[in-house]
Amino acid sequence: MLLQIPNVLAAAQVAALRVRLETADAPWVDGRATAGHTGAPVKFNQQIDERAAMARELGDVVLAALERNPLFISAALPQRVYPPLFNRYGAGMQFGAHVDGAVRLLPGSSDKLRTDLSATLFLADPGEYDGGELQVEDAYGLQRVKLAAGDMLLYPASSLHRVTEVTRGTRLACFFWVQSMVRDDTRRALLFDLDRAIQRLLSTAADQAACISLTGVYHNLLRQWAEP
């Protein structure tokens, strides 16, 4: 499932992050620092050094926003979220077709995170750059995505994806992975659809007993499928 989540960050939050990311001493490094065997040969971009204090500080702003976002919680059912990273593509940069590594070591620990979902939170508006399209292959074909600053795309980490070459301007984004309580994409999508339908019913004068029953079905399915 590909899902666009609007307004994860408000315009003022995007602007505040960009002030920090665009300062002259921001610790940008070669993006291959975090790339695996398949990603490294095709990855040409820059990232904020994930060991830098700035990465953790700015990442915390994003994590706080995610915790307050019901659409993200409902769609991802997050078990744990990788500390958000920040990247930029200037003119001539791109990231060729790849699948994200299945398991990542959490920075500064021996804990591992299984990457069920990938997320890209756009920090530049589409009008600021040409190219730089996020292309994701899913069951319905090739999806081409360029969202407004503050909006986020959530997609299966198992999907083949790429970022096309930027030909003008700079594409700034935040990206991270999510280990979900429900690892199977189909089950997670069913729970998401059920939850959205229940939320819609609850906002109407629908039969209360039926709403309670459906809510019970949701939680009992989650109980069956959630991993500790």
Applying CB under 5 A, the residues found at the interface with Ni ion are 100
Shortest spacing between CB 35 and Ni ion, in angstroms: 9
Shortest spacing between CB 220 and Ni ion, in angstroms: 35
- Cβ–Cβ < 8 Å for 176, 81: yes
Select the residue whose beta carbon is closest to Ni ion and give its number. 100
Number of H helices, E strands in the chain: 5, 17
The residue among 34 and 69 lying less far from Ni ion, judged by its C-beta, is: 34
- For helices 53-67 and 11-21, the axis angle rounded to 10 degrees is 170
DSSP 165: P
The residue among 39 and 59 lying less far from Ni ion, judged by its C-beta, is: 39
The residue among 13 and 179 lying less far from Ni ion, judged by its C-beta, is: 179
Shortest spacing between CB 137 and Ni ion, in angstroms: 12
Sheet holding 94-98, edge to edge: 43-44, 94-98, 161-163, 134-138, 141-145
Q: For residues 9 and 63, what is the distance between their CA atoms, to the nearest angstrom?
A: 11
The residue among 50 and 100 lying less far from Ni ion, judged by its C-beta, is: 100
Shortest spacing between CB 45 and Ni ion, in angstroms: 11
Shortest spacing between CB 213 and Ni ion, in angstroms: 41
Closest among 98, 87, 72 to 30, alpha carbons compared: 87
The residue among 147 and 214 lying less far from Ni ion, judged by its C-beta, is: 147
Shortest spacing between CB 201 and Ni ion, in angstroms: 37
- Cβ–Cβ < 8 Å for 135, 165: no
3-state secondary structure of 119: strand
The residue among 100 and 185 lying less far from Ni ion, judged by its C-beta, is: 100
- Cβ–Cβ < 8 Å for 127, 113: no
